[in-house]
């Protein structure tokens, strides 16, 4: 059983390290591996705006670069009253590691909603596609 509240709390803590001089929009994320380990991340902006990385990808890349490949859930926390759902780029990067990863989206009060990555990115381009027979 995934402890959603704990993962949300970790994401909220990670949010404190957000580097957001341009948007002031802090985001924190926490990803739970299949083995129960948690990696956290925040958004890191850049004066060359397109180089900004989202909190979700920071957390995922930290986990992958530490050798993990299977994930149970990822929580994302923002300072807004409405929940924030991961951007399209993050959805694509997350679905590479499985459509069943649960995404826990939390608002500033810690209230949350849960959807799987597959629900957030229907008809996704997936790694299996590259293994399919091609006709030309
Ligand atoms: N951002 C995230 O970190 N995650 C999301 O899911 C949406 C957007 C960041 C990128 C940028 O630093 C700021 O939020 C405003 O777009």
Contact 83, 45 (CB under 8 A): no
Contact 41, 28 (CB under 8 A): yes
Q: 3-state DSSP: the chain helix, strand, coil percent, rounded to 5?
A: 30, 25, 45
* pTM for this entry: 0.97
Task: Report the phi/psi class of residue 3: left, alpha or beta, with left for phi > 0 and alpha for psi in -120 to 50.
Answer: beta
Instruction: State yes or no: is 56 an active-site residue.
Output: yes
Please, what sign has the CA dihedral across residues 119, 121, 123, 125?
Answer: negative
Q: What fold is seen in the domain 4-135?
A: Cytidine Deaminase; domain 2 (3.40.140)
Supply the mean pLDDT for the chain.
98
Q: What residues line ligand 1, using a CB cutoff of 6 Å?
A: 20, 23, 25, 27, 43, 45, 52, 54-56, 84, 86-87, 90
Q: Which pLDDT tens digit goes with each residue over 55-79?
A: 999 999 999 999 999 999 999 999 9
Task: Say what the pLDDT of residue 33 is.
Answer: 98
């Amino acid at each position: 059983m995934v402890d959603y509240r704990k993962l949300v709390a970790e994401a909220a803590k990670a949010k404190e390290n957000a580097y957001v001089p341009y948007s002031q929009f802090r985001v924190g994320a926490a990803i739970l591996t299949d083995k129960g380990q948690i990696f956290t991340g925040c958004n890191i902006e850049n004066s060359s705006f397109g180089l900004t990385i989202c909190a979700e990808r920071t957390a995922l890349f930290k986990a992958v670069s530490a050798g993990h490949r299977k994930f149970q859930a990822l929580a994302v926390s923002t300072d807004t009253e409405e929940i924030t759902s991961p951007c399209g780029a993050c959805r694509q990067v997350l679905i590479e590691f499985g459509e069943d990863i649960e995404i826990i989206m939390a608002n500033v009060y810690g209230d949350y909603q849960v959807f799987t990555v597959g629900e957030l990115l229907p008809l996704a381009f997936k790694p299996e596609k590259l293994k399919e027979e091609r006709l030309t």
